[in-house]
Chains A and B, each alone.
Chain A
């Protein structure tokens, strides 16, 4: 699997030729009927995932977690604990998979890198003046470069929602392109739209295509810092976008819902969305992630339940 998406420009080169072509293209995307979208998401939410399928889904979900701490109060100790947990989520059961990554602020990247050293767990860093994204471009790019220099494997940038809502799509596009360049060839770029602030589903579809056109490796719903974060409906919509983008350009882009996914039941619903919308090519931590923290312990408790037949409790998973 390629770690970096090839430039999509060859298939849709004309689209980003100018502000007006970009605007026309984004506004020409099919509209989204909110009721229909939410009904479809809800309907997939009624899938009943049992026994072997559930065991598969739980391990897959664990392997897709970007175990996240993004607090002002983060300390090296907290980040180290998180790193250890990511590598070996269930100390009592070595068969439990590692998470995909830990996700931290840029100044914690080096600490996190040490904590996961020797494992497959990636270090992701939020950047570009997360979560508001209100800083000069030079500051945002410096933010990215520092994180990459400190060893970040993945950069979770926020887009300029103000620019997007003002309709200056080219500004948003240029910024993503610049950040992508700052990521270099090694770091994968996740582009956070803060869907709760974009507000409409039409905007989320446009932002998805904008991000993918600009070279995003992942499109991500939210920062986890606003009222509405990942939902089945907005994630379903983004899964449709990556599906359609690949069909159009041949380029596969990942999806990361973040914020608000706390239970195994929720996580499995998202995996059903992936399975039945984008398809099994996305059922891999390289192409789908959960931005979450408390979710992991619930997945682990459910995993123990499946293994033993007994319901587990919070004392049997680690509090980090």
Chain B
């Protein structure tokens, strides 16, 4: 099912990564207090491979009672875990980092199967970043007094963490690594469409000898997450996901002492000036919106191109899109994988239809989509204005809206004209323009002459309705420390 979009004499033969490296059990339990266990009410749900709709496994679905059990286990573990010398906590995290590196190919294949993203990305982006994140925060565990959060920074207690499906294991790492390094214990709910890598992570905790109850994994749907967030014995809530759910969580924790960090949606502007390094800008635009099928909160989903080079840039961009290879996510040459779920595909489809109905011009390269699974062709909208829905709403799919601007002031004004404020891109060869524009953009991460770069040392998070708090770097420690 290698659906390469181009027809070339040099047709790449299928190059599938072997799925034999990963052994998925027919069923998985909840991971509570160091053991896999069924849900109290016995509920289970199926997780499927979005590229084929094949059922991968049946997973226990945590309910309120299980949430309570997990929080109690985490509370019990907190006493000893937080009392451990930082240097000992560090070694557990270093162990975890190393085991992830050892098992990275297995985990990459697993993630690709459960999420639908190309193996190229799980292998070259997700997994290296996951290991690096644990490695980075491991080193902080015994140096917290030097982090600038007071002489004796204290952990908060039990962290309730809810993560999305777009980078399942990486988001787990972003949540668990700093929480454990600072001495907190964790109850984590992975997304309902991608629970498997978190459950494999439970096995890594076992291999690392992590004390029972320090990490608890509760697969489930939104109601599981809501119960976790609302649990009275949770001290810290960390959520990555949609802005709508983020607002609900903020209301839930209102009036409590729970510390809250939110990483939410975005509608990132990728601004291309007429003096941009054009070939690299095209790559950056492609990477900005088609990386992980555009299911990225910091995606560069709005292309703001200077009107004087619009035609030239769009020609280059369309030519480049015609070389994207969509198909089997396990094929090592696949650039565009499957959409994560039917629900998400429906949402993308409906927003794109709305874009067309509102008069934006839709374009996709010639592209045959596989007959089973959830697929959406890379899509461009031109003739888009600030008023179009596709310019305002987060689509969370491989859909780029192209807008134009005339002057740097106008570019900044349009870029900032959104309730979101997560990411932005700037493309120009003029250094002073980069600094001036970067200074005026209301976004937590600004990529100049690059896009979608991540690093454990680099704080990540939004302005405005993209959420608050930072993950990564020294800044990322604050979310898990009692600094006030």
Contact = CB atoms under 8 A, between A and B. Distances in A.
**Bound pair: A and B?**
yes
Interface of A: 30-33, 35-37, 39-40, 46-54, 56-57, 60, 237, 240, 247, 271-272, 275-276, 279-280, 283
B279 A52 contact: no
Interface string B259-301: 0000000000000000111111001100000000000000000
12 contacts: A30-B275, A30-B276, A30-B277, A30-B278, A30-B429, A49-B15, A50-B12, A50-B14, A52-B11, A56-B10, A275-B8, A283-B10
A275 B279 contact: no
Contacts of B275: 30-31
Given A30-B276, A31-B275, A46-B120, A36 B283 contact: yes
Nearest to B324: A276
B332 interface: yes
A52 B13 contact: yes
A280 B449 contact: no
Nearest to A279: B8
Interface in B119-155: 120, 124
A275 B13 contact: no
A54 B10 CA distance: 9
Contacts of B115: none
B333 A280 contact: no
A76 to B, nearest CB: 38
Contact of B279 (A30, A35, A271): A30
Interface string B312-348: 0001000000010000000011000000000000000
B418 interface: no
Contacts of B8: 275, 279-280, 283
A280 B9 contact: yes
B2 to A, nearest CB: 11
Contacts of B429: 30-31, 33
B450 interface: yes
Interface-centre pick from A47, A54, A283 (highest chain B CB count, 10 A)? A47
Contacts of A33: 277, 280, 429, 449-450
What's the dominant secondary structure at chain B's contact region? loop
Interface magnitude class on chain B:
20 to 34
Nearest to A30: B278
A85 B332 CA distance: 36
A198 B27 CA distance: 61
Contact of A51 (B13, B276, B280): B13
Contact of A48 (B279, B315, B333): B333
Contacts of A37: 279-280
Given A36-B280, A275-B10, 4 more contacts: A31-B276, A36-B277, A36-B284, A52-B13
Contact of B323 (A39, A240, A271, A276): A276
Nearest to B119: A48
A116 B450 CA distance: 49
A40 B280 contact: yes
Contacts of A56: 9-10
Interface string B3-25: 00000111111110000000000
A67 B332 CA distance: 32
Contacts of A276: 323
Given A56-B10, A280-B8, A32 B124 contact: no
A45 to B, nearest CB: 11
B450 A271 contact: no
B10 A280 contact: yes
Contact of A240 (B9, B124, B279): B279
A234 B314 CA distance: 24
Nearest to A272: B10
Contacts of A57: 10
